[in-house]
Structure 1
């Protein structure tokens, strides 16, 4: 059975939200003959670790090395773009030539979130005007891997999205179908 690393800011959500979302994701992946590998499944003794951050990094990297592909939650998190750790994980998997798919519940293109569609932001720096879901390296990297970047319907709000707004079963299913097609598990 092919395995999928689940990347996203979900690990920071309150436990009740996180557990509900993760259980739903795992069930959807299983329906597509895919096994979920989640950072939340790591059983780490952070209290007794010399370097807890490095322990988490090493454990997550081991899961990514084991995985056949990745699905990333790229819903804007703590700002107009995706979670930085999730972006790293997506790049790590893409660099290994593994297929990736992603989703965001946000319908507002990146350039609209950053500058309202203007060519430059408030600091007079250029903003990518391509109308993509996020930075072109993410969107195009996902496409180049054979995956898909699926968008939801929520409009961007500068205060961000609540944890329960960062997951949509319908778009996650679409991202799962995309990665399952690439991996041949459909």
Structure 2
């Protein structure tokens, strides 16, 4: 680990209006710094999209480089554009767990995944809905737990139209995520 352990901040915040995204990034980084950790946000990447032959690949490569640099991950798994977490964040979580790096997931949403999907046991298209009452798909909750991580849930009910960008940040919940990740990183450093 580097002298100041670094944490990759995965989440849908990169899609938010600039003022909201910048505010959330600043607060997360301050809270991490207070805990002796450095925050690495996908927004830290300086990519000149207009001059990239393949902008999507440039963003992917830059984010991958940040994840390689990071010692751990905090993933904002709050439902995004539907009842489940942002697909890119889910990928980043899986990638980091696959690299053996400690990770913590959180969602500001208290409403279980199965209660967020339209339908009781079967969705309108006839597909089964996981009945487990977890924060999200069982592969996220159980995958984090199996890797020694944790999924934290906030206290906000899932609104019918989804969460507004400013609602994705809960400082008390993020502090919990930081404390959990710091414990995981310390335990791994002591091995």
TM band (smaller chain): over 0.9
Could you list the per-position Cα deviations for residues 114-142 of structure 1 after superposition, in whole angstroms to 9, with x for gaps in the alignment?
Answer: 145x2211122111111000001111111
Q: Partner of 1:180 in structure 2?
A: 182
Contact residue 80 and residue 158 of structure 1 kept, 8 A = no
Runs of 5+ unmatched residues, structure 2: none
Aligned mate of 1:120, from 122, 135, 147: 122
Contact residue 75 and residue 81 of structure 1 kept, 8 A = yes
Q: Partner of 1:104 in structure 2?
A: 107
Q: CA deviation at 1:158?
A: 2.6
Q: CA deviation at 1:145?
A: 2.2
Could you list the per-position Cα deviations for residues 73-116 of structure 1 after superposition, in whole angstroms to 9, with x for gaps in the alignment?
Answer: 11100000000100100010011111110111111000010145
Q: CA RMSD in A?
A: 1.1
Taking the aligned partners of 1:4 and 1:130, their CA distance within structure 2 comes to 30
TM-score for the superposition, normalised by structure 2? 0.93
TM-score for the superposition, normalised by structure 1? 0.96
- How many residue pairs match? The answer is 184
Helix, strand or coil at the partner of 1:97: coil
Q: Which runs of 4+ in 1 moved over 4 A?
A: none
Residue pairs, 1:120-159, within 5 angstroms: 120-159=122-161
Q: Partner of 1:70 in structure 2?
A: 73
